[in-house]
């Protein structure tokens, strides 16, 4: 017997076509998939001229998405008032979310990502009275409720005091009923900070395996070994580390000829910095910035390259981009930060290296360059693992199951039993 459809309200700071990273694209894909399964899903987000006008998008957050570079990519420094409004409390966002929830009356409110939108939407959701789940794919919730050690609101002492006081209040008034974290790494951070472990679970994201078919075993071809980096271009993603590794390898007589293609977009300031790093390293003939390409084109590039470099220096929660490369059967070298080791086992389905260490990255590249059978084996096992564990349909199924458990527990006055919680 089919189970009744759910009515969901997904609260997210950005929504396609307004994108700064993969999280917004994932939110849209999950919304579309849940709608495809018969659920009514409403999206509460910022306001922008190009948002879809399908009746399911509600521009209620006090965020001008047409100026997203100013607020999310650091194109304009925040004033003290901006910092409070973006990272502590914004009454217009509170009022917009409260009114939308009162009008929609969903079964469940889902806070997807509220970075830059303050804790006001969570406060409004809790005051509304229905069950509320947060789905952190990074540390936005941790910083808002528990830990202010990072974030734009940490400048002046007065701002630090305001932020600290607000976190105490928000833990009482805005803490979500449940957390569905993108990885065990993110889940554990919140539990260690004080969130009840029995109400927190790791769902892990997934990728559409049909978009990234397993490539056929590559045959030897003339020319350089083709390396690939793809992601948002900023320091935390580590493209500069890949460039430094190329510099080290260029100077080695025992290294084969290599070429690195870098795919992605970033701020004008960081792109200028990256070009200087490339020039200073003397590898302008071996590194090419390819810019941002559509997802379908990226899938083609994965099949055309020999090795994928995932160089994040920050605590990468759980990367869809890395899973996509693994899904395509491309041998990967990744840094051992954050939740990445939950998908990649060193020497089994990829190679792990320490973050920010170009020498270790260079050695791993050289190891794969010298061993085509190792490249083939790592790629084949990676593709099999993603198909077995990290499909997009499996991810949506895990979310759907968790949502139903939470809604049913709320109606009965109990606590939802979430798979993977309480460990």
Per-residue tens of pLDDT for the chain, all 423 residues:
568 999 999 999 999 999 887 889 999 999 999 999 999 999 999 999 999 998 999 999 999 999 987 777 665 677 777 778 888 899 999 999 999 999 999 999 999 999 999 999 999 999 998 999 999 999 999 989 987 654 444 445 556 666 677 788 888 899 999 999 999 999 999 999 999 999 999 999 999 999 999 987 665 667 799 999 999 899 999 999 999 999 999 988 888 999 999 999 988 899 999 999 999 999 999 999 999 999 999 999 999 999 999 999 999 999 999 999 999 999 999 999 999 999 999 999 999 999 999 999 999 999 999 999 999 999 999 999 999 999 999 999 999 999 999 999 999 999 999 997 765
**How many CA atoms does the CB half-sphere of 158 hold within 13 Å?**
5
Two structure tokens written together for 86: 């973006």
Q: 274-300 burial, b for 16+ CB within 10 Å, e for fewer?
A: beebbeebebeebbebeeeeeeeebbe
CB 63 within 8 A of CB 47: yes
- pLDDT in the model for residue 406: 98
In which order are the strands placed within the sheet that holds 287-291? 287-291, 258-263, 225-230, 307-310, 332-335, 351-353
Report pTM. Answer: 0.91
Angle at 203 between CA 197 and CA 208, to 5 degrees: 170
Please name which of 25, 18, 10 lies closest in space to residue 320, comparing C-alpha atoms.
25
> Distance between CA atoms of 182 and 21, rounded to whole angstroms?
15
The region that residue 50 occupies, defined by phi over 0 for left and psi between -120 and 50 for alpha, beta otherwise, is alpha
- pLDDT score of 240: 98
pLDDT value of residue 74: 66
Question: Under a CB-based contact definition with an 8 Å cutoff, are residues 399 and 30 in contact?
Answer: yes
Strand-pairing partners, residue 226, are 259
Sheet with 108-113, strands from edge to edge, namely 57-64, 40-47, 7-12, 108-113, 132-134, 178-181, 200-202
pLDDT for residue 150: 42
Q: Domains along the chain?
A: 7-206+391-412 (3.40.50.2000), 210-389 (3.40.50.2000)
What's the confidence (pLDDT) of residue 149?
53
């Amino acid at each position: 017997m089919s189970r009744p459809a759910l009515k969901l309200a997904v609260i997210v700071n950005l929504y396609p076509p307004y994108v700064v990273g993969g999280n917004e694209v994932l939110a849209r894909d999950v919304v579309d998939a849940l709608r495809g399964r018969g659920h009514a899903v409403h999206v509460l987000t910022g306001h922008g001229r190009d948002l879809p006008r399908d009746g399911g998008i509600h521009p209620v957050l006090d965020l001008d998405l047409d100026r997203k570079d100013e607020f999310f990519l650091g194109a304009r420094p925040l004033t003290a008032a901006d910092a409070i409004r973006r990272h502590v409390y914004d009454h217009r966002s509170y009022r917009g979310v409260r009114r939308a929830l009162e009008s929609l009356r969903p079964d469940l409110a889902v806070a997807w990502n509220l970075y830059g939108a303050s804790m006001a939407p969570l406060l409004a959701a809790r005051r509304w009275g229905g069950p509320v789940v947060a789905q952190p794919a990074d540390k936005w919730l941790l910083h808002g409720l528990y830990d202010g050690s990072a974030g734009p609101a940490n400048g002046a002492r007065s701002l630090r005091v305001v932020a600290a006081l607000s976190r105490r209040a928000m833990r009482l008034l805005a803490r979500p009923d449940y957390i569905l974290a993108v990885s065990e790494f993110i889940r554990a951070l919140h539990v260690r900070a004080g969130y009840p472990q029995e109400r927190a679970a790791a769902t892990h994201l997934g990728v559409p395996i049909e978009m990234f078919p397993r490539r056929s075993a590559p045959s030897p071809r003339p020319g350089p070994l083709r390396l690939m980096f793809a992601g948002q271009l900023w320091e935390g993603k580590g493209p500069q580390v890949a460039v430094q590794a190329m510099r080290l390898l260029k100077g080695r007589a025992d290294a084969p000829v290599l070429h690195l293609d870098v795919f992605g977009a970033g701020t004008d300031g960081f792109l200028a910095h990256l070009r200087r790093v490339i020039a200073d390293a003397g590898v302008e003939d071996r590194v090419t910035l390819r810019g941002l390409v559509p997802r379908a084109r990226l899938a083609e590039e994965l099949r055309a390259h020999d090795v994928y470099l995932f160089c994040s220096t920050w605590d990468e929660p759980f990367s869809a981009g890395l899973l996509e490369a693994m899904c395509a059967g491309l041998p990967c070298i990744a840094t051992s930060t954050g939740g990445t080791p939950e998908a990649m086992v060193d020497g089994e389905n990829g190679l792990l290296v320490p973050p920010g260490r170009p020498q270790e990255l260079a050695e791993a590249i050289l190891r794969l360059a010298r061993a085509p059978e190792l490249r083939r084996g790592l790629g084949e096992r990676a593709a099999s693992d993603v198909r077995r564990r990290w499909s997009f349909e499996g991810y949506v199924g895990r979310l759907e199951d968790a949502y139903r458990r939470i809604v049913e527990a709320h109606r009965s006055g109990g606590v939802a039993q979430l798979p993977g919680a309480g460990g």
